[in-house]
Amino acid sequence: MFLNLFIVNKSGGLIYNIALSPSSPPLNTNDSLRIGSTFHSLHAIAVQASPNANSNANADASNAPPNVPQDGIETITAGSGLTLKCLQTLTGTKFIITATDIQQSVMSDVLREVYGIYSDYALKNPFYELEMPVRGTKFDAHVRAAVQAKETGSGFMASRR
């Protein structure tokens, strides 16, 4: 089941979080903010800490097109089937989702859908300020629906197995 969804802006500030299951860990506002910014920093550090980091960095500096966000953490797996997936958009916004026992491809699909919902119900909202927290009942509703659809879809596959 899906546990939590976070959206982090390009400066590392949390702009949206939602608990998607009764088994989601209880996170108050401060916890969520901290998780958002910690992940934002670790996302970048992961690249610096890797073995071919320096050769990659030199190559990127000269060849990379400008304004493309850096490589970073895409997936984290942990015990008990916990998986975290991150989608970083070209604008530096990160969509992060955690789940247990859901296929990684399904999680990636959900992230892409949430990105679509974000651009439809947040970015196209004339009153929405960029990089600010996302508040909107339509956004919440569509996110819940998208996650629910994928969850029952993948649950069906699991029982077929």
Which residues here bind another protein, judged by CB under 8 A?
Answer: 1, 3-4, 21, 23-27, 31, 35, 38-39, 42, 45-56, 71-80, 82, 84, 98, 100
Nearest residue (CB) to another protein, 31 versus 120: 31
Residue with tokens 């996110």: 143
**What is the C-alpha end-to-end distance of the chain, expressed in Å?**
16
Question: Cβ closer to another protein: 66 or 79?
Answer: 79
Smallest distance, Å, CB 51 to another protein? 4
* Residue with smaller CB distance to another protein, 2 or 139: 2
Q: How far is the CB of 134 from another protein (least distance, A)?
A: 20
Q: How far is the CB of 62 from another protein (least distance, A)?
A: 17
Distance (Å, whole) CA 150 – CA 109? 8
What are residue 62's phi and psi, to 5 degrees? -90, -35
**Spatial distance between the Cα atoms of 154 and 148, rounded to a whole number of angstroms:** 10
Quick check: 8 and 94 in contact, CB under 8 A? yes
- Least distance in angstroms from the C-beta of 38 to another protein: 6
